[in-house]
Amino acid sequence: MLTLPEKLLFIIFAILSIYLTYIGFSQIIVAVRKGQPEYYSRSNRLFERIREAFVRTIGQTPVLKSRPLVGVFHSFIFYGFTFYLLVNLIDLIEGLLPPSFAPLSGSPISSWFRLGSDVLGFLVLVGVIFFVWRRFVSRDTKLERFNDSVLLQAEVRAGGIRMDSLIVAGFIFFHVGFRLFEAGSLLAAEGRLDPWQPVATLIARVVGFGPDRIIGWHIGWWLSLGLILLFLPYFVRSKHIHIFVAPIRLGLGRRAATGEKIGSGALDPLNFEDENVEQFGVAKLEQLRWSQVLDAYACIQCNRCTNVCPAHETGKALAPSAIEINKRYELNSIRATLAKGAESPRPVMEFALSESALWACTTCGACVGICPVGCEPLIDIVDLRRDAVMTKAQFPQDLNSAFRNLERAGNPWGLAQDNRKDWAKEIAAPTVEENPDFDVLYWVGCAGAYDPSAQKIARAFTEILHHAKVRFAILGNSEKCTGDLARRAGNEYLYQNLGAENVQILNAALGNRDKRVVATCPHCFNALANDYPQLGGKYRVMHHTQLISELVSDNRLPELILDENITYHDPCYLGRHNGIYDAPRQVLNGPKRIIEMQRSRENSFCCGAGGAQFWKEEEPGNTRVTENRFQEAQATGAQVIAAGCPFCKSMLSSSESAGETGAPLVLDVAELVAENLRRVKSKLGIG
């Protein structure tokens, strides 16, 4: 137990520390509350949210998923540091109160508690040493690898991340280390060994036994708990705050009013009917939604998102982790003035990301999918694009043509609406007027209607539908672009106009009948399935590979037999945004199995077309995104690259390596199935 002067000094120190920490936390709460309201609920189904956050946090599954070894060492720190909340509480009681108040004195669980504090404390030290070695000695490039063109807030550019990491690691190491020294010194003072405290016993042997070793207990107690009080005011501005915020963020996923989870394929809409709104999108920090402000404090600065970002991986100025890190450092520098009611002094684009970075994003969702704490930098980027397009009219000029074509012709190519059904001149594709008793509505999409390469996909899929005797229909010339490219490029107003027209047409065509809508383009699929419910259009939407897989399973199509080795490219808007990975593989996995690329399924690499990139010049970098992906596919040795998206097919086919002799051929799944169907018919003598 401490002496009376020690107790008084500690209490004074504790009051000062708690007061300063309270100020910091209150400023953060004010900053988060300044954020805008959410469109989707972040608080309904509260029990489910708490359970999900608890399971994911305790299980450490998000951290273990993409970096298993790193995750194991992180779990040492997490479990040990969590247990040390109880250890510190008991140490505090034993130091300030008489021995009769010792909470575990004589308790049967006392031995297990001592074992836990000893072993877990040692594992914390092992974990800290690993991470210090990784960051400061081996200098793992995954942690702080930013391209030179990435915009960093001044404090970050000056080495703020490394300094913060050093302070946090130092605090954890010395806090736990001195607590073990405290326990060992107590054993030494009492002249005994404790098999339940192997590390503390070893320390006792080192320091030597004797009553005077009680001074070591005092030193260990003060430095262990005193470091907490010293660290707490800094804690609120450090990366370590994620130990509180990250579990909360894990429970704040977007959900519809019904409780259904909303994935990364849906964006929050803007309300253009509110006449008081003068700002569309985000220019300053307080114009972000409150969850986006919270992301800055949930971010653990692991850089996972940047490591998988196709823009950053190809040398461009975008680094998703830098967005969150820059936001936090900026908030730390201005939170005191925000708490007093002031506005943030400068736009987000001045400290968080550059214009080149803003327009390099392919909206592939890799950053959102891999984040272990649920941050959503993709949404920040789209909101910033909305401000650039609709408020400032500052966007790549290449997109101006696409926007104008969408407004005038209803498609980004600017081709005549009356020619939308020309792709079907060589094959029967009945409209809803010609076949009102359809079971499946085929949404052709602009690519299928106008792009020669994608028209082959549309005709192949139509051939498949005819052979399988699927009663289907198309909208024909009444179909317009879903508006996906406009929405992802930030032109929300144009998207909503196009979407509202399409929803009206679809509702009229489908009526109250429970029909399925099938799309060969994942971008159309995503818009129909995830975006259009916001506009009053809720449909049963399928991707064409899902329907083909179903038809093969029902023996309405022959099994696909290929002579060539094949690899499959997962489209971002089919796989990562909508979780459809198995259907195309079920179609392609005949006698010859798919040769998977190194990055596949949820870890798939983007083709480079998404986020309106298809309609503009790629931002400066050291290579094109599509070239990076094509080379990966080529490395598998496959002769055919199968795609499930007309834009993926077009991008991969246009890569530099695709023009080389012997390069793999890029074909859609529907084209491969249709060709197989023709071969089977030819063998059977069927015309």
Give pLDDT tens digits for 436-454: 999 999 999 999 999 999 9
Rounded Cα gap, residues 125 and 132, in angstroms: 10
Q: What percent of the chain has pLDDT over 90?
A: 79
Token readout for 622 is 């050291």
pLDDT attached to residue 592: 67
Rounded Cα gap, residues 384 and 394, in angstroms: 11
pTM of the prediction?
0.92
How many CA atoms are closer than 13 Å to the CA of 389, on its beta-carbon side? 27
From residue 403, alpha-carbon distances to 273, 490, 493, 681 in Å are: 22, 11, 11, 44
pLDDT attached to residue 138: 85
Confidence category of residue 682, pLDDT binned at 50, 70, 90 = confident
Confidence category of residue 653, pLDDT binned at 50, 70, 90 = very high
Q: Does the structure show a pLDDT above 90 at 523?
A: yes
If we measure between CA atoms, which residue out of 183, 208, 206 comes closest to residue 196? 183
If we measure between CA atoms, which residue out of 636, 669, 453, 444 comes closest to residue 546? 669
pLDDT attached to residue 644: 96
pLDDT attached to residue 687: 55
Asked whether 583 and 560 are in contact (CB, 8 A), the reply is no
Query: What type of residue sits at position 533?
Result: P
pLDDT tens-digit series, residues 287-321: 999 999 999 999 999 999 999 999 999 999 999 99
**Could you give the residue range(s) of every CATH 1.20.950 domain in the chain?**
4-250
The residue with tokens 């009376």 is: 4
Look up the CATH number of domain 4-250: 1.20.950
Q: What is the mean pLDDT of residues 584-592?
A: 82
SS3 643: strand
Q: What is the mean pLDDT of residues 98-124?
A: 83
From residue 581, alpha-carbon distances to 460, 561, 572, 576, 673 in Å are: 21, 20, 10, 9, 17
Q: Does the structure show a pLDDT above 90 at 249?
A: yes
Q: Does the structure show a pLDDT above 70 at 131?
A: yes
Q: What is the mean pLDDT of residues 10-37?
A: 95
Which of 266-280, 419-433, 479-493 is predicted most confidently? 479-493
**For residue 317, which phi and psi values (nearest 5 degrees)?**
-85, 0
Q: What is the mean pLDDT of residues 7-24?
A: 94
Which carries the bigger pLDDT value, residue 275 or residue 399?
A: 399
pLDDT attached to residue 3: 85
Average pLDDT, the chain: 92
Confidence category of residue 512, pLDDT binned at 50, 70, 90 = confident
How many CA atoms are closer than 13 Å to the CA of 497, on its beta-carbon side? 12
Q: What is the mean pLDDT of residues 529-541?
A: 94
Confidence category of residue 105, pLDDT binned at 50, 70, 90 = low
pLDDT attached to residue 585: 95
pLDDT attached to residue 262: 92
Confidence category of residue 514, pLDDT binned at 50, 70, 90 = confident
Q: Does the structure show a pLDDT above 80 at 431?
A: yes
Determine how many CB atoms are found less than 10 A away from the CB of residue 13. Answer: 15
Confidence category of residue 461, pLDDT binned at 50, 70, 90 = very high
Q: What is the mean pLDDT of residues 118-132?
A: 94
Rounded Cα gap, residues 682 and 687, in angstroms: 7
**For residue 261, which phi and psi values (nearest 5 degrees)?**
-70, 140
Rounded Cα gap, residues 315 and 609, in angstroms: 17
Q: What is the mean pLDDT of residues 465-473?
A: 95
Q: Any alpha helices (H) in 191-289, and if so which ranges? A: 198-207, 214-235, 242-250
Confidence category of residue 683, pLDDT binned at 50, 70, 90 = confident
If we measure between CA atoms, which residue out of 425, 290, 358 comes closest to residue 612? 358
Q: What is the mean pLDDT of residues 474-503?
A: 96
pLDDT attached to residue 549: 95
Q: What is the mean pLDDT of residues 346-355?
A: 96
Q: Does the structure show a pLDDT above 90 at 575?
A: yes
If we measure between CA atoms, which residue out of 364, 266, 436 comes closest to residue 608? 364
pLDDT attached to residue 591: 56
pLDDT attached to residue 511: 84
pLDDT attached to residue 26: 95
SS3 517: strand
Q: What is the mean pLDDT of residues 82-108?
A: 82
* CA 559 to chain CA mean position, Å: 36
pLDDT attached to residue 439: 93
SS3 253: coil
Confidence category of residue 590, pLDDT binned at 50, 70, 90 = low
Q: Does the structure show a pLDDT above 70 at 106?
A: no
pLDDT attached to residue 100: 66
